């Protein structure tokens, strides 16, 4: 089952589990499983049109998901999904 982790920085802004294993075959299903338990997290992570918020970054097995990429990416029992606050600087 895919394993999701949420950073402590993200938890400072919205209620979310530090980590959780879910039953899912796509990234979208994995996120939806978490959103059903932590509804405020959906609005913090997702835009109204279904895309990722600009201030959020997701990594799957160490690879960053580019913004605008479909969330219908396949995940499996060994997938590690890391959700974090995107960093910005100047």
* pLDDT tens figures, 19-76: 999 999 999 999 999 999 999 999 999 999 988 999 999 999 999 999 888 899 999 9
pTM above 0.85, yes or no: yes
For domain 3-85, the CATH class is alpha beta
Name beta bridge partners: 80: 3
Question: In angstroms, rounded to a whole number, what is the distance separating the alpha carbons of residues 27 and 29?
Answer: 5
Separation of alpha carbons 8 and 21, rounded Å: 17
């Amino acid at each position: 089952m895919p394993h999701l982790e949420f950073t402590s920085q993200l938890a400072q802004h919205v209620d979310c589990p530090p980590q959780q294993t879910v039953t899912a075959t796509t990234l979208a299903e994995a996120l939806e499983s978490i959103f059903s338990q932590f509804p405020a997290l959906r609005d913090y992570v997702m835009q109204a049109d279904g895309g990722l918020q600009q201030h959020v970054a997701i990594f799957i097995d160490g690879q960053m998901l580019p913004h605008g990429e479909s969330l219908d990416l396949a995940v499996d029992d060994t997938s590690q999904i890391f959700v974090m606050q995107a960093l910005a600087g100047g």
